[in-house]
Chains A and B, each alone.
Chain A
Amino acid sequence: MSSLTPQSSPLSSPFAHNNQSVRRLMVRVQLAVIPALLVHIYLFGFGIVIQWLLAFATLMVVEFTMLKLRNRPIRPFITDMSAMITATVLVFCIPAGAPWWIIVSGTAFALIFGKHIYGGLGYNPFNPAMLGYAFLLLSFPVQMTQWTAPTEILDYAVSFNNSLHLIFTGSLPQAALEANLTANLDMVSAATPLSQLQTGLTQGQGVTESLTPIALEAQTHYQNGSFINGFFYNTAQFFSLNSWAWVNVAFLIGGLWLLAVRAIRWQYPVGFLGSLTLISFIFYSIDPNTYPPVDFMLLSGGTMLAAFFIITDPITSSTTPKGRFIFACGIGVLVYVIRTWGIFPDGITFAVLLMNIAVPLIDQYTQPRVYGHK
């Protein structure tokens, strides 16, 4: 080691590290999703687990081929779990009973066109999950609107192999169909509150009338011999939240834990939920009949999923503190605009993609004040 020539590339400071790693960061986000996954299984049956397994298989195949093509070291990039989060988020966006090729093509499109075409982890400008979801929403509108009804409406939990059969053949097995007849529900799917609200509004009904049919369906629901008459919201054993709201609450809990372990920054949820609440409160107070109440807006569709898991993706969102807040507020406003005046029931995917386009500009003009500068 006593060579006097200058070293080729001297390993310079610092030599200490807090051994944070990309994988540890992504694992935390993955853990935060588990409560919502459990609630979803409890309320909507096992469809989502199968979808997730399908997504996981596709993701492994796609990542492996892409990394081989770009001759990148396979192990570190496959185990960095970033593709896993894309797949998980996508699985929550699609109906649990959707046919198998929906999730496979969605995940493949998301990973290839969303991430690897731009150069792999860290280089993609668009949020891969939202890109995949938009691709599915625009290409297969029919399959994407067949959401499975919550179990208390269907009166039985869609068992694992029933949903397996549903996903791969497109209909329930014969036995399940007869059992279903008594509750005179031929189909498994039902509209989500958001799409229910939208169709109601377009047909000129007020907010309350268009939301009550869910309660009516609950009324015809037959459980151990007596009718349970639902009222404004679809009743459930505890409090007055419908099952989609419960999934959102589960996301909220997972999200708060993420905030505590600093996996995500507070500007995202505060900006997004704050702006959404403000704008829906304003419109609600102007005309309660045509604009839904604030809590409905916050706890329906993928709001909480977006607030803590979609817009907080650091790669595709803005990177300066002020920029993050503007990014999140922008998404909140766009979500409200698309939900109220657009044709898509839940505008999150398009709102996120639109703000992803504006990220480079936002980063350029929101630099924080450096020490010693004005």
Chain B
Amino acid sequence: MEEWFISITAAILIFVGLAIVFGLLLGYAAVRFKVEGNPMAEQIDKILPQTQCGQCTFPGCKPYAEALAKGETEVNLCIPGGTDTMILISEITGLEPKEVEVTEAEHKPKETAFIDEDVCIGCVLCIKACPVDAILGATKLMHTVIQSECTGCDKCAPVCPVDCIDMRAPPVSLENWQWPEPTIKSEGEAK
């Protein structure tokens, strides 16, 4: 009778002892290796295109990055970033990559806002809407877009009462002309 009684109590004692030892060890480790803040948010923010366009339903890129870091939202909401940003986000957060629905933005060259000056009535609405203050002008005075600062987030066009803003790609000039990538003939289909 005592034989199995001893082995059971021994087993229980051993496991309880082990649990206590490991518990203490992990408790000490948790205190000593305390990590505050969440570096992931800055890391994601660094790879977002910073257009502050709000197409991801967040007021800017930083809020979207924090939401991603906390894991509250999807990885594929950043439309201007397209699939490569989505892949980078999924790698950083470790979440599963998901298809980006609106993808035609990826191939077009970046478009910037352009105000048709003879239609603009100087209502200052677009200046308030622009997330990066790229529109120059004052009430009743002519408005114009600083092309180099505009991120192409297209927040100003819908706001304009007289619809005088449209998005235009910069004209191809000697400065921004790019060598096209050669297509290797044999990679394509059979001749």
Contact = CB atoms under 8 A, between A and B. Distances in A.
Do the two chains touch directly in the complex (Cβ atoms below 8 Å apart)? Answer: yes
Interface of A: 6, 8-10, 12, 71-74, 76-77
Nearest to A77: B186
Interface string B152-191: 0000000000000000000010000101101100100111
A73 B190 CA distance: 4
Contacts of B191: 73
Given A72-B186, A76-B186, 9 more contacts: A8-B180, A9-B182, A9-B183, A10-B180, A71-B189, A73-B186, A73-B190, A74-B190, A77-B186
B190 A71 contact: yes
A10 B177 CA distance: 13
Contacts of A74: 190
Contacts of A6: 172, 177
8 contacts: A9-B182, A10-B180, A12-B179, A71-B189, A71-B190, A72-B190, A73-B191, A76-B186
A101 to B, nearest CB: 32
Nearest to B181: A9
Contacts of B177: 6
A10 B181 CA distance: 10
Contacts of A73: 186, 190-191
Nearest to B177: A6
Nearest to B187: A72
A2 B78 CA distance: 43
A308 to B, nearest CB: 29
Nearest to B185: A73
A9 B180 CA distance: 6
Nearest to B186: A73
A71 B188 CA distance: 8
Contacts of B179: 12
Contacts of A10: 180
